Structure formats: structure tokens, C-alpha cells
Chain A
């Protein structure tokens, strides 16, 4: 079974600074996908960034980037130039690729990020 662990329940960062959120996972799959979702106070789940495990290159999306360490099963999210609007709950998630079946998202418990002015 897949598991996703986020060891930081809460973090804070000053506006314009950089913050890194940690995530580790466990899977027996050879190919899988990893995601970071943002959940602002509105409770909507918004995809921030995704990574396919067979790709060596770390994914980046504007101010968001990941450090994907496949051997260590680590998938951290770096937010550069933090903005007040980044304040939210951040969930790390994994999804297997079970040879054609859908697979489902396995979420971590989340990290509450507060960006301070």
C-alpha cells in the first residue's frame, strides 16, 4: 500500500522569502505520480505541481519547484518569493499506475503554511 507522510504540521515564512515543505512517500510501484495540492481557506483543492516518477528532471511551475529524490522517496516543495496568497494548507499526494486501472490519490496529512507580511 502507498503511504504519504508530511512531517511538518505547520510552517511560516516571511513574505518574499523561500520555504520548503517536506514530503516522503512509500510505494512498491515502479511508475507513479506525485502531486502537491494547495487548499486555501475556501477549501478548494488546487493542483500546484506534479511529477512523473520516471522523469529525472525536477518539475517547476513559476515560483514553485520540487526536489524529487527517487531513491530516498522524497518529494519536497519549494516556494520562492512567498506571497500572502500562498497562505494555505498544502497536501502532498501520490498515485500509482496500476497497469491501466485508475489508481487513486493518496494524500498526506497536510502542512499549514502561513506567509507573514
Chain B
């Protein structure tokens, strides 16, 4: 079964450093997302991406964050200057369309980001 692949599975970074989280969505999917889950809390939407541009973003997704699809397969989330409160599990997801019949979303296994 097709998978969404995220790398790395765990990243430790120093406060103030830039990090790039990588995702390879399912190949025929057109919509891409990033979600975040701070330990012990609920999953929160960050941003959605379609046709090479951001289509929606949440309040969390401030100027520190950016997303990019640098080639035909990768979808990246960059955090420019990490803060302690950016420590969380970051999930990438993709879907073929917007409705539930598209299968909803397929999530990756997540990247655990630890900012020290």
C-alpha cells in the first residue's frame, strides 16, 4: 500500500537553528499538509499546499515557517529559527482530493523534533 514517507524520524536541534523536515507524499496525490502534535496534546493543522502554493494556513504557521515542493516528489517544512516550543511531532499528510471519498488523508509516521 502506498505510504507517505517522512525523514528524519527524530531530529534534535539547538534553539535558534534552522531545520528542514522532509516528506515524500504519495505519488498521485495532489494536496499536501503539515500537522503538529505537541506531546500529550491534540493534533493541530499548520498548512495545506496545492498546485505549488499554500492554500490554507493556521495561526501557528507564522513567518518562521515555510513550505516548499522543490521537485516532483518532496514536500518540505522549514522552521527558520527554532524555539523550545517548536518541540513536537510533525506529521505530513497527502490526499487525492478534498472529500472523504478520496480516502481522507494518508499520514506519514511523523518526525519528532526536539529543540534544546
Q: Which residues of A contact B (CB under 8 A)?
A: 33, 35, 37, 42-47, 50-52, 91, 93, 95, 97, 100-110
Q: What is the number of contacts between chain A and chain B, taking CB atoms within 8 Å?
A: 69
- What are 17 of the A-B contact pairs (CB < 8 Å)? A33-B99, A33-B100, A44-B108, A44-B109, A47-B107, A50-B104, A91-B43, A95-B100, A97-B98, A100-B98, A101-B98, A102-B56, A103-B98, A104-B33, A106-B45, A107-B42, A107-B44
Chain A, Cβ-Cβ closest to B9: A43
Give the 10 A-B CB pairs with smallest separation, nearest first: A33-B100, A45-B107, A104-B45, A107-B43, A109-B42, A44-B109, A50-B100, A107-B42, A102-B48, A52-B100
Q: Which residues of B contact A (CB under 8 A)?
A: 31, 33, 35, 37, 41-45, 48, 50, 55-56, 58, 89, 91, 93, 98-101, 103-110, 112
Chain B residues touching A, majority SS: strand
B43 CB to nearest A CB, Å? 4
Q: Are A47 and B103 in contact (CB under 8 A)?
A: yes
Contact A45/B99 with A101-B55, A107-B42, A109-B42 known, Cβ cut-off 8 Å: no
